[in-house]
A and B are shown apart, each in its own frame.
Chain A
Amino acid sequence: MNFTILDWLFVSFFITITTLVAFWTKKRISDYDSYLLAGRSLKLYLAMASLGVTEIGLVTLMYFAQQGYVSGFSGFIIGILGLFGFIFVGKTGFIIKGLRQLRCRTVSEFFGMRFNLTTQILAGIITFISGLMNMGMFLIMGTKFILHVVGIPSHLLPYLMIGLLIFVLIYTVVGGMVSVVITDYFQFIILFTGILLTTYFAIKSVGYGNIVQNVQAQYGAGGFNPFISKDLGWSFIIWMLIGSFFSAMWPPALSRALSTTDSETSRKTYLFIGFSFLGRVLMPMMWGICALAYFKLNPSAPFPMHGSTPDTAAAMPALLAQILPAGVMGLMTAAALAAMMSTFDSYLLCWSSIFVNDIIVPLRKNKLSDQLKILLTRLMVVACGLFVLIWGYLYQPPETVFRFLAITGTMYVASVLLTIAVGLYWKRANAYGAITSIIIGGLLPLAAIFIKDASTLPENLQWLTSDKIVGTATYVFALLGMVMASLVTKKICPPIKLFFQRE
């Protein structure tokens, strides 16, 4: 066990505070709108705090650290492209401004307005499935972090997963968006402080000169030049560049944007918080790069294993267990729990509300009461949590965890968001075009996710197992499908005109 009494005190205090906040806010939830959208009372800085912690999950720290371990400084290109995406959205209000002015609760509601009910339900299904698969890695990665930092025996992994899941489910189900937003503020303070301190100790433990020299020795020029990196390369960068325009609009992040007082606040939120997102990528990557150097320089230090193979995803927490002083380790674990809960609860709530609002509600003839919607959402939160427990334990990503999340993210982005963008900005887009792009964007990435052995496919189809090629191809084919289907069917399915409300 690596923890001291001081560390346990930090963690216990954090858990107590967040639990109390969750129960206190339960008494003040008035209706379904408040439950999901914090009553549209979210002002700029609280929105920034909430978005910041929602998008910096423990899984985020883990997968960027693994990516840094595997690709060195070349992985920093991901942060550069992400920053570019946030600035672009912040400056232009790309998609988010339009959705705010249409008063959409979720992105799939847009489909009902712009296209038809079938499109709305289909978009809801793809959103739900891709989001659930994506979220499937959260619990296992978070648990691995806690396991290695605290020093819990590895055979207790399943039990720790269950315990963490129960904790997250309780205050997600009880509080809803209101408690999520308020606890996000306190988690923001702990998380951002923990990240800064950990970065300091990680670099100090190895020495910056050793870090750079070690990456050069292990990865050569490819450790600094992403275009020639064996793990990344041109195809990866192109894939990430296209996605960067939409990277700030994963539904849980969008729910924050739709919760603010007006669209201008939403736009500013993306712009300002985008500046911290470069650090969100680079700092955990640096931890992974430090882990690469540390275990090379200290071969006697125990490196985490997954069966008989090195577990690169667990390298970073194994490093922190070695180098963080007492007290800081507890703070970082509390920060990690904060990161895990702030992301996990928002994502659980988001996917559950999408299932209820965009799949169940449209399919029913009779209107659902607010209380019934809340009950159904809570039941779905539990069901999603159980799926994440099983999926995370059983599924092994073919590449790094980041690349798995990127390809499941592409399922959603290339189908739903790309279709929304075209629907907002191209008047000729119609329902047939939307259905075509949703189906292509939602299904094509499944090949890269589930087909692991390229030799099982004919030679001309083996590209389907490469996430880097499939990622870019999905965007291209989805867009082509939207445009071609809309033009071919324009007479039998005229486009619906949108009317934007002024704020």
Chain B
Amino acid sequence: MTATQTIWTIIFVIALLLFLVVEIVVVIGGARDVIHLMKVLLNNATKR
């Protein structure tokens, strides 16, 4: 492969790894946030 082709390949692999890391982080953290939002909604519904 040429230098340009190699650079794009490296960038692609980095992009893929970043994508994977973000997915793992967001899935775990997002579960807690969904529970928090549900509690807020239920509290509002109870007050009404």
Contact = CB atoms under 8 A, between A and B. Distances in A.
Interface of A: 25, 27-28, 30, 34, 38-39, 41-49, 52, 73, 76, 79-80, 178, 181-182, 185, 188-189, 192-193, 195-196, 199, 208, 212, 216, 221, 224-225, 272-273, 275-276, 278-283, 286
A193 B19 CA distance: 10
Given A39-B40, A273-B22, A73 B5 contact: yes
A178 B41 contact: yes
B22 to A, nearest CB: 4
Contacts of B44: 28, 30, 34, 39
Interface in B13-31: 14-16, 18-23, 25-31
Contact of A28 (B9, B36, B42): B42
B1 A212 contact: yes
11 contacts: A30-B45, A43-B33, A43-B37, A49-B30, A52-B22, A79-B15, A189-B27, A212-B9, A224-B4, A276-B22, A283-B15
Nearest to B21: A275
Nearest to A280: B19
Given A25-B41, A48-B26, A275 B18 contact: yes
Nearest to A48: B26
Contacts of A286: 12
Contact of B15 (A43, A272, A282): A282
Contacts of A283: 15-16, 19
A30 B4 CA distance: 55
Contacts of B34: 46, 182, 185
B18 to A, nearest CB: 5
A69 to B, nearest CB: 16
Contacts of B2: 224
Interface size class of B (residues with CB under 8 A): 35 or more
Contact of A188 (B20, B26, B42, B48): B26
B39 to A, nearest CB: 9
Nearest to A50: B30
A196 B30 contact: no
A276 B23 contact: yes
Nearest to B34: A185
Contacts, number: 120
Contact of A43 (B18, B19, B20, B36): B36
Give the 9 A-B CB pairs with smallest separation, nearest first: A45-B29, A279-B19, A46-B33, A276-B22, A278-B15, A192-B23, A45-B30, A43-B33, A28-B41
Given A48-B26, A188-B30, A282 B37 contact: no
A44 B23 contact: no
Interface on chain B toward A: helix, strand, loop, or mixed SS?
A: helix
A44 B5 contact: no
Contacts of A193: 23
A182 B14 contact: no
Given A278-B18, A279-B16, A279-B18, A224 B30 contact: no
A38 B12 contact: no
Interface on chain A toward B: helix, strand, loop, or mixed SS?
A: helix
A267 to B, nearest CB: 16
Contact of A196 (B8, B19, B26, B40): B19
Contact of B11 (A39, A76, A216, A280): A76
Of B18, B22, B25, B40, chain A has the most CB atoms within 10 Å of the CB of B22
A45 B40 contact: no
A419 to B, nearest CB: 32
A80 B37 contact: no
Contacts of B32: 43, 45
Given A48-B30, A273-B22, A41 B16 contact: no
A195 B33 contact: no
Contacts of B18: 275-276, 278-279
Contacts of B4: 73, 221, 224-225
A87 B30 CA distance: 21
A26 to B, nearest CB: 11
A49 B11 contact: no
A189 B26 CA distance: 9
Of A49, A272, A273, chain B has the most CB atoms within 10 Å of the CB of A49
Contacts of B9: 208, 212
Contacts of A192: 19, 22-23
Contact of A38 (B1, B30, B31, B37): B37
Given A30-B48, A41-B40, A196 B16 contact: yes
Nearest to A189: B27
Contacts of A276: 18-19, 22-23
A225 B5 CA distance: 9
Given A28-B44, A43-B36, A49 B26 contact: yes
Nearest to B32: A45
A224 B4 CA distance: 7
Contact of B14 (A41, A52, A278, A281): A278
Nearest to B20: A196
Nearest to A34: B44
Given A28-B44, A278-B18, 9 more contacts: A34-B44, A45-B25, A45-B26, A182-B34, A185-B31, A196-B16, A196-B19, A224-B2, A282-B11
